[in-house]
Structure 1
Amino acid sequence: MKKIDNAFNAKIIFLKNFKIVFKAFLTLGIFVAFMLSFLSDDYLAGFVNITSFFVLFSLMLYIVTFIYCFFKLKHS
Structure 2
Amino acid sequence: MLRGEVEPIILMTELIKQKKELEKILSKYGVKEPEEIERKIERGEIPEHPSYEDFLSALAFKQNIAELKKSIEKFLREI
Instruction: Sort the TM-score into its range (normalised by shorter chain).
Output: 0.5 to 0.7
Q: Tell me if 1:45 matches 2:54.
A: no
Q: How does 1:1-76 map to 2 (within 5 A)?
A: 4-16=4-16, 18-23=18-23, 26=25, 44-76=47-79
The percent identity for this pair of structures is 7
For the structure 1 residues 48 and 16, does the alpha-carbon distance in structure 2 shift closer, same or farther, using more than 3 Å as the test?
Answer: closer
Q: What is the rounded CA distance, in whole Å, between the counterparts of 1:50 and 1:22 in structure 2?
A: 13
Measured on the aligned residues, the alpha-carbon RMSD in Å equals: 2.8
Runs of 4+ in 1 over 2 A off after TM superposition: 13-24, 45-48
Unaligned stretches of 5+ in structure 1?
27-42
Q: In the alignment, residue 13 of structure 1 is paired with which amino acid? A: T
For the structure 1 residues 45 and 21, does the alpha-carbon distance in structure 2 shift closer, same or farther, using more than 3 Å as the test?
Answer: closer
Normalised to the residue count of structure 1, the TM-score between the two structures is 0.53
Name the larger-Rg structure: 1
Aligned residues: 57
Q: In the alignment, residue 5 of structure 2 is paired with which amino acid? A: D
Q: What is the rounded CA distance, in whole Å, between the counterparts of 2:8 and 2:66 in structure 1?
A: 15
* Equivalence for 1:31: none
Unaligned stretches of 5+ in structure 2?
26-45
Does the CA contact (< 8 Å) of 2:19 and 2:61 recur in 1? no
